[in-house]
Amino acid sequence: MKETVLMKGNEAIAEAAILAGCRHYFGYPITPQTEVAAYMAKKMPKIGGTFLQAESEIAAINMVYGAASTGKPAMTSSSSPGIALKCEGISYLAGADLPALIVNVQRGGPGLGGIQPSQADYFLVTRGPGHGDFHVLVFAPASVQEMADLTGRALHLAWKYRMPAMLLADGTMGQMMEPVQLPEPHNAFGTDNPWATTGTELKRPHNIINSLELSPEKLEQNNFSRYERYRQVEENETLWEEYLMDDARICIVACGITARISRNAIAEARKEGIKVGMIRPITLWPFPKAPLARAAEQVDSLLCVEMNMGQMKEDVVLAIRCQKPVDLCARVGGMIPTPDEVLAHIRTLAKGGNA
């Protein structure tokens, strides 16, 4: 480990990607993620990498497609409206089985919405951000340290499974500053990419990177084998954190910034003798269904704390197969729930009511 530095979440993403070996960044500015691009613009030229401000988000994602086709680690970053624009390109990446890192520092929506933080892209990114049958790996960091750590992991797994990965933060996580220990420079990618278009040197058949398949039988097979890979990802790569769950009668489910707020509320509720814990999904796809199903057998109720209108709550209800009531504490449009608001929900649930 190197020494500790003080960084914004957005900077930590950029530096962690560079340390993992990523040398190709294509982006387009949008608040609140612009520091990722600004950092890359400063640093990439000094280390022989590529920083390119594209003419649009769509151009940037297609440049990622081009770079990834040659087996080079490539990434882009944006915020909610920009991610919506990139969805076509993400679908093409998935259809061509290309690895890439896409960073989404969410802001309020829908539409142009606002520039304040949000978690309202949950549906968009966990269901497959684009047309067709596919998934992307989705990581939800809850500290600047995790912004760095999960960036490296996302790049590594994208290459391991040849699929796009997304780092899903919100504006607060992107803008806040915390001490962070960065890893030593390492290679998060395999050096051997037999599928990449690197020149045949007349020694092998052409590699073709394409999402078009003329035979429906073959296209079906491609989808089947892709979903076999997704099954392996679900089996091996699901991440979550359990916090004070041993004796919990109420289980909070929250990710990212709302998980941090919930920890403050849990500390207060515990002082009042309320047995409340938390399961924090760290990967949103794959979603930690099994630990939630286990928790549902133990607790009386669950409470989702989200900066959206309850999008993750649907996954929680599915994961626990409606065994227990699931309540929602939500703020939207750039507003952030306070620990007191979460505490009020916890108290109501502890009394056996619906919050």
Partner 1 sequence: MKYKRMTLFAGHYGSGKTNIALNYALWLRRQGLAVTVADLDIVNPYFRTKDGADILARQGIGLIASPFANSNVDLPALPGEVYALVEDRSIHGVIDVGGDDRGALALGRYVPALREENDYDMLFVVNKARPLTRRVDDALEVFREIESACALPFTGIVNNTNLGPATTAELVIDSVAYAEEIGERTGLPVKMTCAMESLIPQLQNKVSDLFPISVMQLYYMEKEGTSIGKINL
What does the binding site for partner 1 look like in residue numbers (CB under 8 A)?
4-8, 11, 15, 31-32, 35, 39, 42-43, 108, 113-117, 171-172, 175-179, 182, 257, 260-261, 263-264, 267, 334, 336-339
Give the H/E segment covering residue 103: strand 100-106
Give the nearer residue to partner 1 in terms of CB position, either 6 or 318.
6
By three-state DSSP, how is residue 88 classified?
helix
For the bound state, the minimum distance from the C-beta of residue 167 to partner 1, rounded and expressed in Å, comes to 18
Task: Please report how close the Cβ of residue 268 comes to partner 1 at its closest, in angstroms.
Answer: 9
Nearer to partner 1, 82 or 337 (CB): 337
In whole angstroms, give the CA distance from residue 130 to residue 120.
Answer: 16
Token pair recorded at residue 69: 């086709």
What amino acid is encoded at 145 in this protein? Q
Amino acid, res. 8: K
- C-beta neighbour count of 147 within 10 angstroms: 30
Q: Which is nearer to partner 1, 233 or 254 (CB)?
A: 254
Residue 57: Cβ within 10 Å count: 25
| One-character DSSP codes across 42-69 | HHGGGGT-EEEE-SSHHHHHHHHHHHHH
Q: Could you give the residue ranges of the DSSP H alpha helices within 237-330? A: 257-271, 289-298, 311-319
- Residue among 229, 240, 188, 175 at smallest CA distance from 75: 188
Phi, psi (deg, nearest 5) at residue 114: -155, -175
Q: Which residues lie below 8 Å from residue 314, measured CB to CB, with a gap of 6+?
A: none
| Residue 1 CB, nearest approach to partner 1 (Å) | 14
Closer by beta carbon to partner 1, 27 or else 117: 117
* Residue 277 amino acid letter: G
Q: Least distance to partner 1 from the beta carbon of 261, Å?
A: 6
C-beta separation of 269 from 343 below 8 A:
yes
Separation between Cα atoms, residue 351 and residue 355, nearest integer Å: 10
Dist CA 334 CA 115 (whole Å):
7
- Tell me how far, at minimum, the Cβ of 334 lies from partner 1, in Å: 6
